[in-house]
Amino acid sequence: MIRGLGAIVLSAVLAPALAAQDADAGKVIYDRWCAGCHGESGAGDGESAAYMLPRPRDFTRAVYQIRTTASGGLPTDADLRRVIEEGMPGTTMPGWTEKLNRRQIDNVIAYLKTFSRFFDGTDPEVVRIGSAPGVTDEGLAEGRRLYEDELECLRCHGNGGRGDGTSAPELTDDWDFPILAADLTEPWTFNGGSSTEEIYTRMYTGLDGTPMPSFADVITSGIITEEQLWRAAQYVRSLAPDDEPERRDVVRAALSEGALPSGPGDAQWEEIEAYYIPLVAQITLSPRWFTPGVDAVWVRAAHDGQQLAMRLTWNDRNNSPDQRWEPLFQNVRNSVESPDTPLPETQGPDIFGVQLPLVLPEGTELPYFIRGEPRRPVSLMEWTSNPDSMKTGTATGMGTFAAAGGVDVRHQAVFGDGQWHLQVTRPLQPADAGSATPLVPGRPIPIAFYAADGTNGETAERGAISAWYSIYLDVPTPSSVYVAPIVAVLLTAAVGVVIVWRAQQGERRS
Amino acid sequence: MRRLMLVPMMAFLACGGGESGEEAAGEGGAAAAAAPLGSGSISGMVMFTGTAPSNPALDMSDEPQCAERYEGEPTDPVVKVMGGHLANVYVRVSGGLPAGPYPQASEPTVIDQNGCLYQPRVVGVMTGQPLEIRNSDPLLHNIKAVPTENRPFNISQPQAGMTTQRTFNTPEVMVPLECNVHGWMNAFVGVTDHPYFAVSGDDGMFTITGLPAGTYTLEAWHETLGTQTAEVTVQDGAAASVEFTYSG
């Protein structure tokens, strides 16, 4: 008992010393792993910060985005731990559970607090988040009414939730950097998580450091109820599929019996399966760019044996160039560093490209995935929004493009609510062999995509790209597929009957 | 010099993370401000000489309910000059005050969102004194404070009639306020730990009362025309005059 008492006394005496030691141990970890982005003095100005958007957190203001505390409140230790462990999707902040254990993360948290005098040792108060009512159609309709009319979320987040609202072009964060209203149709890119509970918590606490306000006072003022805020959160969640889209390697071009879809708005496209292809920053070859505007494309494809039709769908807050978005463009130009050449001085058009190897590869060797190489050229179909046009040709690497007229490519592009739909139709066999890739059904054909957002200063070579995927043009199912099993069953049955009959014969004799 | 016995107001002046201050319970329990420290006052005027710069035009086309409130094109009243007088200059005593505690101002200071502009554009509050933000427009505003010495806040006000109160715990000149739905909206809040401040009206006049006799430094602040200082000597029971002049 004396020893127990002694242990208690000893730990009480040592506890302040241990706490101080935590921050010192945290500094060692911070300087090694965090300072490169967050800066030696925690001001979010590390060496690589200038290439990023959003910027790494500036800890010196103690303004934190993802919290369970009221607007303007400090984060709890659990809030900080969650972001360090899991990272922030949609940003360059990774999760650290693989590299740092719990003790190390707690030490880093202790060190983070030394960057701002606002951390005075008191525990911030956690807001009370109730629980969601069950989702109902009436509830979603109410949520939509709140989103559009009463709370006016669409002013920033847009009619369809893609961040293209009328107030969106001028948004800045607390440090005057450009900031985008979230694309609510891609919840896997939400900084604080994609569940309805997370969405509700963000609406309740607000995202400090950003234009996103807190709605807690709207509830305490009696203007809406907690349940109504849940309905709004449920509506927001309903703007996206339940699960993060699966990334598959092969795009199947369905074989169409009748006519191919006539344009991007043709209802026939809804029956054709969509394939999700992520697009990532092209950071390999000059002009490199770390913060592209387009993050994915949905591909649908169909052919009729003569023509291949593809519908490409991707989110873009503006049809570029767009004068209303000039403030954002200028702010991006002034604040995001470009490692090679500077951004253009004016907004450009939006661009989307489909890339195929010019010659179908026999083995596994593919052309270099960024616009090909001299030994292995690529065939490009590249669409530009303004003026609306499509160019077809070949490329043998960055900065090369040779127009090719020997293939009749038709296209139609439609923009609405922060989304492009582009239909591209071309014959399977180019009229002029060698001018474009022959599209042979029944075998995987490598395919890649690239996109540029002109309002983000991007061009066909500076933007977002995909790796090589494959497109497979379905072939008709041969009738042998149906006949062979029936023949096999009959033959097997016949053989079985013969065996049993002979066995029975044998039995009768003995 | 008379020293009043006031309930210690150090609680108000302590830094901290919480955003709402508590009401001061004075000696006697009344919520009204306690007795002033002195009987002297400053009666001031802010002049403007030269040509006033033209204020920027505002494009309110995305908010027709506000745009239609204005005849012709609305402008942002950044530099408000009328008859040679400059409004919206925040003046405070920046030196020469006796040691506190000071009478606590507890009536809320109101900022209204009206016609998609903040009215008034510039206000002053004491630490712990409520700032009340009202929405008089039948549409969404968010009210966002971006201080550096105080905790920030960002509140959605989607309906006319909604009011929100917040307080600041630390002196700061000035705390910017903004709306993100309407990016042209800007206001400024001066926060002091004493009640000796004022904002010049449309007639350029401002008044600071309750000062004991002495010599004080005044600092005048304008959001684009900069700061100026002046010395003024105050007598008991009398109003001292001071003038600031800005020029275009």
Domain match, A258 and A337 both: yes
User: Are A120 and B16 in contact (CB < 8 Å)?
Assistant: yes
Establish if A124 belongs to a structural domain.
no
Which of B17, B158, B163 lies closest to A152 in CB terms? B158
A11 pLDDT more than 80: no
Pick the residue from chain A with its C-alpha nearest to B177: A174
Which residues does chain B have within 8 Å of residue A119's beta carbon, measured at their own beta carbons?
A: 17
How confident is the model over A306-362, as pLDDT tens digits?
Answer: 999 999 999 999 999 999 999 999 999 999 999 999 999 999 999 999 999 999 998
Name the residue among A119, A73, A74, A20 with its Cα closest to residue B15: A119
Which of A72, A74, A152 lies closest to B140 in CB terms? A152
Point out which residues pair with A470 in neighbouring strands. Answer: A250, A446
Mutate to test the interface with A, among B61, B113, B135, B142 (most CBs of A within 10 A): B142
User: CA A455 to CA A449: how far, in whole Å?
Assistant: 19
User: Are A218 and B156 in contact (CB < 8 Å)?
Assistant: yes
Domain match, A153 and A41 both: no
pLDDT grade, residue B13 (50/70/90)? very low
Domain match, A489 and A401 both: no
Which residues does chain A have within 8 Å of residue B157's beta carbon, measured at their own beta carbons?
A: 217-218
Domain match, A85 and A219 both: no
A–B CB contacts, 8 A cutoff, strictly below: 93
Q: What is the pLDDT of residue A13?
A: 65
Mean pLDDT for A239-253 is: 95
Which residues does chain A have within 8 Å of residue B156's beta carbon, measured at their own beta carbons?
A: 151, 206, 213-215, 217-218
Q: CB-based contact (8 Å) between A221 and chain B?
A: yes
Which residues does chain A have within 8 Å of residue B167's beta carbon, measured at their own beta carbons?
A: none
Contact between A83 and A221 under an 8 Å Cβ cutoff? The reply is no
Across chain B, what does the average pLDDT equal?
Answer: 89
pLDDT grade, residue A17 (50/70/90)? low
How confident is the model over A421-474, as pLDDT tens digits?
Answer: 999 999 999 999 889 999 999 999 999 999 999 999 999 999 999 999 999 999
Q: What CATH number corresponds to the domain at position A229?
A: 1.10.760.10
Higher pLDDT: A212 or B34? It is: A212
SS (H, E, C) B202-223: CCCEEEEEEECCEEEEEEEEEC
User: CA A260 to CA A303: how far, in whole Å?
Assistant: 7
Q: CB-based contact (8 Å) between A218 and chain B?
A: yes
Mean pLDDT for A186-215 is: 97
Q: How close B74 comes to chain A (CA, Å)?
A: 18
Which residues does chain A have within 8 Å of residue B146's beta carbon, measured at their own beta carbons?
A: 174
Q: What is the pLDDT of residue A510?
A: 63
Question: In angstroms, how far apart are the furthest CA atoms of chain B?
Answer: 59
User: CA A182 to CA A125: how far, in whole Å?
Assistant: 27
Mutate to test the interface with A, among B156, B172, B177 (most CBs of A within 10 A): B156
Q: CB-based contact (8 Å) between A208 and chain B?
A: yes
Establish if A127 belongs to a structural domain.
no
Domain match, A382 and A421 both: yes
Instruction: Please name each of the domains of chain B with its CATH number.
Output: 35-97+198-248 (2.60.40.1120), 103-193 (2.60.40.420)
Q: CB-based contact (8 Å) between A186 and chain B?
A: no
B21 pLDDT more than 50: no
Q: What is the pLDDT of residue A477?
A: 84
Which residues does chain A have within 8 Å of residue B163's beta carbon, measured at their own beta carbons?
A: 221
Which of B151, B152, B183 lies closest to A167 in CB terms? B183
Mean pLDDT for A494-498 is: 95
Domain match, A276 and A230 both: no
Higher pLDDT: A418 or B18? It is: A418
Mutate to test the interface with A, among B15, B58, B63, B140 (most CBs of A within 10 A): B140
Q: What is the pLDDT of residue B230?
A: 97
Q: How close B157 comes to chain A (CA, Å)?
A: 7
Which of A117, A124, A218 lies closest to B15 in CB terms? A117
Higher pLDDT: B20 or A38? It is: A38
B20 pLDDT more than 50: no
Q: What is the pLDDT of residue B25?
A: 40
Q: What is the pLDDT of residue A507?
A: 80
Establish if A8 belongs to a structural domain.
no
Q: What is the pLDDT of residue A122?
A: 87
- How many CB atoms are closer than 10 A to CB B237? 10
Establish if A181 belongs to a structural domain.
yes
pLDDT grade, residue B2 (50/70/90)? very low
User: Are B17 and A117 in contact (CB < 8 Å)?
Assistant: no
* CA dihedral sign, ordered A307, A313, A316, A318: positive
Domain match, A422 and A354 both: yes
Establish if A48 belongs to a structural domain.
yes
User: Are A221 and B154 in contact (CB < 8 Å)?
Assistant: no
Which residues does chain A have within 8 Å of residue B169's beta carbon, measured at their own beta carbons?
A: none
Q: CB-based contact (8 Å) between A61 and chain B?
A: yes
Mutate to test the interface with B, among A167, A174, A225 (most CBs of B within 10 A): A167
Tell me the pTM. 0.89
How confident is the model over B70-105, as pLDDT tens digits?
Answer: 999 999 999 999 999 999 999 999 999 998 899 999
Establish if A352 belongs to a structural domain.
yes
User: Are B139 and A152 in contact (CB < 8 Å)?
Assistant: yes
User: CA A352 to CA A380: how far, in whole Å?
Assistant: 10
Establish if A310 belongs to a structural domain.
yes
Q: CB-based contact (8 Å) between B5 and chain A?
A: no
Across chain A, what does the average pLDDT equal?
Answer: 94
Q: Of the candidates A177, A209, A238, which is a domain's last residue? A: A238
Domain match, A211 and A227 both: yes
Domain match, A269 and A343 both: yes
Mutate to test the interface with A, among B132, B149, B153, B185 (most CBs of A within 10 A): B153
* CA dihedral sign, ordered A51, A56, A59, A64: positive
Which residues does chain B have within 8 Å of residue A152's beta carbon, measured at their own beta carbons?
A: 139-140, 158, 181
User: CA A370 to CA A288: how far, in whole Å?
Assistant: 12
Mean pLDDT for A108-123 is: 94
User: B 166-195 residues with CB below 8 A of A?
Assistant: 180-183
Domain that holds residue A495: 481-510
Q: CB-based contact (8 Å) between A179 and chain B?
A: no
Establish if A429 belongs to a structural domain.
yes
Q: CB-based contact (8 Å) between A152 and chain B?
A: yes
Domain match, A34 and A60 both: yes
* CA dihedral sign, ordered A40, A44, A50, A53: positive
Q: What is the pLDDT of residue A15?
A: 58
Q: What is the pLDDT of residue A406?
A: 83
How confident is the model over A255-298, as pLDDT tens digits?
Answer: 998 999 999 999 999 999 999 999 999 999 999 999 999 999 99
Q: CB-based contact (8 Å) between A233 and chain B?
A: no
Mean pLDDT for A200-227 is: 98
Pick the residue from chain A with its C-alpha nearest to B16: A118
Mean pLDDT for A63-67 is: 97
Domain match, A445 and A490 both: no
User: Are B155 and A167 in contact (CB < 8 Å)?
Assistant: no
> Domain tally for chain A?
4
Q: Is beta strand A469-473 parallel, antiparallel or unpaired with respect to B90-95?
A: unpaired
What is the crossing angle of helices A137-145 and A226-238, to 10°? 100
A85 pLDDT more than 70: yes
Mean pLDDT for B30-40 is: 71
| Tokens found for residue A455 | 């309002």
Domain match, A275 and A405 both: yes
Give percent above pLDDT 90 in chain A. 90
Contact between A404 and A435 under an 8 Å Cβ cutoff? The reply is yes
pLDDT grade, residue B36 (50/70/90)? confident
Q: What is the pLDDT of residue B6?
A: 47
pLDDT grade, residue B34 (50/70/90)? low
B224 pLDDT more than 50: yes
